Amino acid sequence: MESQGEKKRFGRLSQWFLRKQESSVILVLILYCVIVTIVNPVFISANNVVNILRSTGFTLIVVVGMTLVLITAGLDLSVGSVFAMGSIVCGICCTAGISVWLSMLIGTGVGLLFGMTIGFTIVKTGIPPLMITLGMQYIGRGMVSAITKGVPVYPLPDGFTSLEKISLFGIIPIIVPVSILIAVAGHIVLSRTTFGRSVYAIGGNQEAAKISGINIDRTKMIVYSLTSALAAFSGIMMASRLGSAEPSTGTGFEMKVICACIIGGTSSFGGTGTVLGAALGAVFMEVITNSLTLMKISVYWQNLFFGVILIAAVLLDQYKRALMMRQSVKVKE
């Protein structure tokens, strides 16, 4: 009797788990971690885990915004350029003697303005986000090159570079709690607020959302502004870590961010996805980079792995969806 009840509970639990959008990435992530640990136990040492989380942090901050963008069935290819712009603006400001906090605020603010421009253009022209943000990617990178003439802003004041070295309990770098905090906030906003619900509705069916009284333009403006602000902020943190604001920093960053979101189960067609899933996707990508080194596989293989896993994640997601559909049909009968 008892074992039967247990079985039933397990069945329900696994059902619940399968229905969760993040389930596939969690399963694969755990499986992968186990394999890597067997090959090289150093993988789960505290130092290495902190290392992974630290490098994930920079991606994770932007992933939160990108998840929102993707859920509205949009796309933002400009985050890499905004990442560089944030770090350059902030770097210039603090070398000019402006206080560190104000410089960071200015850097993030410039990102926000850039994002508002993107959002405004998308909403008012109706041109697909792919085109607009591709253009904005060049514009952003161009602005950075023009300002710096290709020369890094270096050296940065100690007050700024010491920021990234602040750590929690002596071992956890500040970027880890900051990025997790942003991710948690993003998750709550997306899952519990009317704004989050609007984001899902717009991606699911923009026309229906409009008829239901959802302000499409405002929601999209907020989503793109937020993403750019986060990208600029992430760039600032990176400059603080490197001790130098590089004009070429963040090149190709947007693809990494988008890849993390998709691996985390965010639909590229819009309407579905969670911040938690995307965050796990970001962790997964960092785990791969890290594990390749630990397993003594050349790091040049990394991109190949990313590509395979991206496609595998989408396939797995599709299979899961088909499974769920079949279940819902069965329930109907």
Partner 1 sequence: MQNPILTVSHITKRFTGTTALDNVSLELYPQEILAVMGENGAGKSTLMKILSGIYPYGSYDGEIKIQDTLCRFKSPAYSEAAGIAMIYQELNLELDLTVAENILLGRYPKTKMGLINWEQVYQDAGAALERLQVKIDVHAPVRSLSPSMQQLVSIARALYCNPKILILDEPTSVLTEKETETLMQILHGLQKQNIACIYISHKLDEVFKLCDRMVILRDGKWISEYSKSQGYQSTRIIEDMIGRRLDVMYPKTKKKIGEEIMRIEHFCVQHPFAYGKHIIEDVSFSVRKGEILGLAGLVGAGRSELVSAIYGLTDSIGGTLYFDGKKITHPTPERSIRMGMGFLSEDRKKNGFVWTMDIEQNMTLAILKEISQGGFINQSREDKISDEYFDRLRIKAPDKKTLITSLSGGNQQKVIIAKWLMTKLKLLILDEPTRGIDVGTKAEIYKLINDLAAQGIAVIMISSELPELIAMCDRFIVLGKGVVQAELSKKDADEVSIMRAASCT
Per the structure block, which two tokens stand in for 148?
Answer: 């710096």
At 212, phi and psi to the nearest 5? -80, 10
Q: Is 195 in the site for partner 1 (CB under 8 A)?
A: yes
CB of 4 to partner 1, least distance (A): 23
**Spatial contact of 85 and 140, defined as CB atoms under 8 Å apart:** yes
Q: Is 200 in the site for partner 1 (CB under 8 A)?
A: yes
Q: Is 333 in the site for partner 1 (CB under 8 A)?
A: yes
| 197 Cβ contact partners less than 8 Å away, ≥ 6 residues apart | none
Q: Is 304 in the site for partner 1 (CB under 8 A)?
A: no
Q: Is 214 in the site for partner 1 (CB under 8 A)?
A: yes
At 149, phi and psi to the nearest 5? 50, 30
Binding mask 224-263 for partner 1 (x = CB under 8 A): ----------------------------------------
Q: Is 210 in the site for partner 1 (CB under 8 A)?
A: yes
- Output 298 or 328, the one with its CB closest to partner 1: 328
d(CA 228, CA 250): 13
Contact region with partner 1 (CB under 8 A), list: 165-173, 189-197, 242-250, 311-319: 189-197
d(CA 27, CA 259): 18
Residue list 131-160, contact with partner 1 (CB under 8 A): none
Q: Is 320 in the site for partner 1 (CB under 8 A)?
A: no
Task: Report the candidate in 90, 123, 105 with the shortest Cα–Cα distance to residue 224.
Answer: 123
d(CA 223, CA 116): 9
CB of 32 to partner 1, least distance (A): 28
- Output 24 or 137, the one with its CB closest to partner 1: 24
